[in-house]
Amino acid sequence: MTATAESVALARTAAAAAAEKLADDIIAFDVSDQLSIADIFLLCSAPNERQVDAIVDAVEEHLRRHGAKPVHREGERDKRWVLLDYVDVVVHVQHSEERAYYSLERLWRDCPLVELEADEPAAGVGS
C-alpha cells in the first residue's frame, strides 16, 4: 500500500508552508506500509522556538485554506516539538536539538521518501 494522492498533495502543501517560514531539512516518509494510522510523516525543524511556532502557524493556515484541520495537536506549550495530526498526514515540527536527539529519520529510514518539490493544490482535502 502507498500513500494516497490526497495525502501526498496535503504533505506537499504543508512542506511548502514550512519552507515559506524557512524550515530546515524538510522530509516526508510514506509510512503507509508500516502504520495503519497514517500515510505520511512530514518532518522539519527550526533553530528556535519562535520559528517552530511560525512554521506551525503557517502549516495550519495553508492546510486550513484547503479544508484540512488537525484532529490532534501536541507540544504547543514548549514549542520544542509540535505534532499536527491530520489523520493521513502527521506533521512534526521540531527544534533542531530535538530533531538531532530523536532522529526520526533513522527510525523511518526503511520507508520510501515522498517527493516534495511541487506544491500541488490539495483538491478535495477535508471533503
Number of domains in the chain: 1
For the question of whether the overall pTM of this predicted structure is more than 0.85, the answer is yes
Query: For the segment 69-112, what is each residue's pLDDT rounded down to a tens digit?
Result: 999 999 988 999 999 999 999 999 999 999 999 999 999 999 99
In a domain, 14, yes or no: yes
In a domain, 18, yes or no: yes
Q: Which domain holds residue 54?
A: 5-107
Distance from C-alpha of 95 to C-alpha of 24, rounded to nearest angstrom: 10
Q: How far apart are the first and last CA of the chain?
A: 22
In a domain, 126, yes or no: no
In a domain, 125, yes or no: no
In a domain, 16, yes or no: yes
Query: For the segment 28-72, what is each residue's pLDDT rounded down to a tens digit?
Result: 999 999 988 899 999 999 999 999 999 999 999 999 999 999 999
In a domain, 114, yes or no: no
In a domain, 77, yes or no: yes
In a domain, 112, yes or no: no
Q: For position 14, which CATH number holds? A: 3.30.460.10
